[in-house]
């Protein structure tokens, strides 16, 4: 059965409504013009609008098919208050041909109800007054199933105030748990889970311009200005952040973002602006940028520390190494700058893992009785070895065209495959066993060699070089 999924204001004035049969609508309005519904396109458009609304709040959640939730806690002052903020939102969307209704309330359910059933297109509810503003709204404003809402209406409970006056236990027995839950959510007595496009973040700064900007020098200037704005807030709260996202909102609704990371939590505006500077050339201003926002993520407390009083003392590690790590990381990528940390595995290929460059040590180190080379080859390289007997350490080995006479040797250390990782066949295969030796040649070079598999009479031994100690 074909039904109406949306109606224009003119159609609504003729008595047409969402959910009505298309044949009934055509009978009431023979001149009715219809178009096929496109739910997928509508959802994509709502997603684009969700992204666009990030200029107003970093926490935006889509409410399909035609709604949005914006958490404006702590950001309304950037517009001069909630009224100025909601007026700006409505004006911008109206200029793009998107008429909206909006409400600001203490709970998402209350805002949803007032935006759709309130008397005005823009409503701002004073704090702690959600219940009074909701009392006169119809029960359908509680986001109930149509059948449940119709059953409540037949009992003469036409408004939310009348429904809320009944005991919760009675409502649950008569209509099920949904009615009481929706009522409590609208009144802010029960929390409601929303799927935000990003987690709510109070560390947010915004700059709006009377005239759009597009010049690279303007981008550099506003980057420094907005970094100073947000860093002052971080400093006042004793906080620092490891990641910052700078967003440029163009006149055509396109949002372009730049992200930088810090090795340690920081709040130095000049340093943050310098890290953004090399990436500003990636921004395409289009017809101009009207708003710039900056968000701080991975925020943590940091304490002020006094620098060394002795000017000749060694420079502080964090004051000198951290900026270098930050420049390298933001230029080469996060995966290119790291430090090696021990990993609990006897397999040399898995004995190390990557950690952030300046992350604190976890207290565990490599086993001093089983040292591992500083440089481990990605693939062991074959070597020719001479030994007194097959099971003895090498006496001479040839590697990359050079001969190395062994002066000292330690071993063997026998390693096999890790059967507990599920590769039972490999663990049971004698050919996968390796006997490792730590050897030092006459020139002082130290090498890590292994013989593949136990000695087999009549078969030549296979020797490999797996790493260098220094």
Task: Give yes or no for residue 425 having a pLDDT over 70.
Answer: no
Containing 170, the helix (H) or strand (E) segment is helix 168-175
Same fold yes or no, 1-37 and 204-301: no
3-class SS at 94? helix
Does CATH number 3.30.70.1060 belong to domain 204-301?
Answer: no
Among the ranges 154-158, 169-173, 209-213, which has the highest mean pLDDT value? 209-213
Q: What is the pLDDT of residue 125?
A: 94
- What's the full length of the chain, in residues? 470
Domains in the chain: boundaries: 1-37, 40-186, 204-301, 375-468
Task: Give yes or no for residue 260 having a pLDDT over 50.
Answer: yes
> Of 179-188, 282-291, 321-330, which gets the smallest average pLDDT?
321-330
Q: What is the pLDDT of residue 195?
A: 85
Q: Rounded to an integer, what distance in angstroms lies between the CA atom of residue 96 and that of residue 350?
A: 56
User: For strand 102-104 and strand 122-124, is the pairing parallel, antiparallel, or unpaired?
Assistant: parallel
Instruction: Name every residue whose Cβ is closer than 8 Å to that of residue 46 and which is 6 or more positions away in sequence.
Output: 62, 64, 65, 66, 68
Q: Rounded to an integer, what distance in angstroms lies between the CA atom of residue 308 and that of residue 311?
A: 7
Query: Bridge-partner residues for 354, per DSSP?
Result: 340
Q: Rounded to an integer, what distance in angstroms lies between the CA atom of residue 82 and that of residue 73?
A: 10
Task: Give yes or no for residue 314 having a pLDDT over 60.
Answer: no
Q: Report percent pLDDT > 70 for the chain.
A: 92
Q: Report pLDDT digits (tens) over 336-357.
A: 787 777 777 777 777 777 777 7
Q: What is the pLDDT of residue 199?
A: 72
313 confidence band (pLDDT: 50, 70, 90): very low
Average pLDDT over residues 390-408: 90
Q: Rounded to an integer, what distance in angstroms lies between the CA atom of residue 353 and that of residue 23?
A: 67
With beta carbons less than 8 A apart as the criterion, state whether 304 and 318 touch: no
With beta carbons less than 8 A apart as the criterion, state whether 133 and 104 touch: no
Q: Rounded to an integer, what distance in angstroms lies between the CA atom of residue 106 and that of residue 50?
A: 21
Q: Report pLDDT digits (tens) over 211-253.
A: 999 999 999 999 999 999 999 999 999 999 989 999 999 988 8
Domain covering 1-37 in this structure, CATH number: 3.40.1170
Q: Quote the pTM value.
A: 0.57
- On the 0-12 / 13-18 / 19+ scale of CB atoms within 10 A, 450 is buried
370 confidence band (pLDDT: 50, 70, 90): confident
368 confidence band (pLDDT: 50, 70, 90): confident
DSSP per-residue letters across 256-284: EEEEEEEEEEE--HHHHHHHHGGGGGG--
Average pLDDT of the chain, as a whole number:
86
Q: What is the pLDDT of residue 429?
A: 64
Q: What is the pLDDT of residue 312?
A: 46
């Amino acid at each position: 059965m074909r039904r109406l999924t949306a109606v224009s204001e003119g159609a609504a004035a003729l008595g047409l409504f969402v959910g009505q049969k298309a044949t009934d609508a055509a009978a009431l309005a023979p001149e009715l013009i219809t178009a096929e519904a496109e739910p997928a396109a509508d959802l994509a458009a709502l997603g684009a609008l969700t992204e666009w609304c990030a200029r107003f709040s970093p926490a935006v959640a889509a409410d399909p098919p035609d709604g949005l939730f914006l958490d404006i806690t702590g950001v309304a002052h950037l517009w001069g208050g909630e009224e100025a903020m909601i007026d700006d939102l409505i004006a911008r969307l109206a200029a793009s041909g998107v008429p909206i209704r909006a409400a600001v309330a203490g709970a998402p359910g209350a805002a949803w109800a007032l935006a759709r059933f309130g008397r005005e297109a823009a409503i701002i509810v004073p704090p702690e007054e959600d219940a009074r503003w909701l009392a006169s709204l119809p029960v359908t404003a509680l986001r109930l199933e149509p059948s449940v809402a119709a059953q409540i209406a037949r009992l003469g409970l036409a408004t939310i105030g009348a429904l809320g006056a009944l005991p919760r236990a009675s409502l649950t027995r008569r209509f099920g748990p949904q009615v009481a839950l929706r009522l409590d959510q609208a009144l802010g007595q029960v929390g409601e889970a929303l799927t935000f496009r990003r987690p709510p973040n109070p560390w947010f700064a915004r700059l709006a311009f009377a005239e759009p900007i597009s010049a690279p020098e303007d981008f550099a200037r506003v980057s420094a200005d907005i970094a100073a704005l947000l860093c002052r807030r971080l400093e006042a709260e004793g906080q620092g952040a490891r990641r910052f996202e700078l967003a440029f909102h163009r006149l055509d609704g396109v949002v372009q973002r730049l992200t930088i990371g810090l090795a340690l939590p920081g709040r130095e505006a000049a340093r943050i602006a310098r890290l953004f500077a090399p990436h500003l050339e990636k921004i395409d201003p289009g017809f101009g940028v009207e708003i710039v926002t900056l968000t701080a993520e991975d925020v943590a407390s940091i304490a002020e520390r006094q620098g060394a009083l002795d000017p000749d003392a060694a420079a502080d590690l964090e004051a000198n190494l951290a900026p270098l790590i930050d420049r390298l990381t933001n230029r080469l990528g996060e995966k290119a700058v790291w430090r090696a940390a021990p990993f609990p595995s006897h397999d040399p290929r898995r004995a190390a893992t990557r950690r952030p460059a300046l992350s604190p040590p976890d207290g565990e180190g490599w086993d001093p009785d089983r040292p591992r080379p500083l440089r481990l080859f990605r693939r062991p390289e074959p070597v020719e070895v001479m030994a007194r007997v097959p099971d003895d350490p090498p006496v001479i080995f040839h590697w990359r065209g050079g001969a190395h006479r062994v002066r000292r040797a330690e071993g063997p250390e026998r390693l096999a495959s890790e059967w507990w990782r599920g590769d039972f066949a490999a663990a049971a295969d004698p050919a996968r066993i390796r006997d490792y030796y730590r050897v030092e040649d006459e020139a002082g070079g130290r090498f890590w060699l292994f013989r593949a598999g136990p000695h087999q009479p009549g078969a030549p031994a296979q020797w490999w070089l797996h790493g260098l100690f220094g």
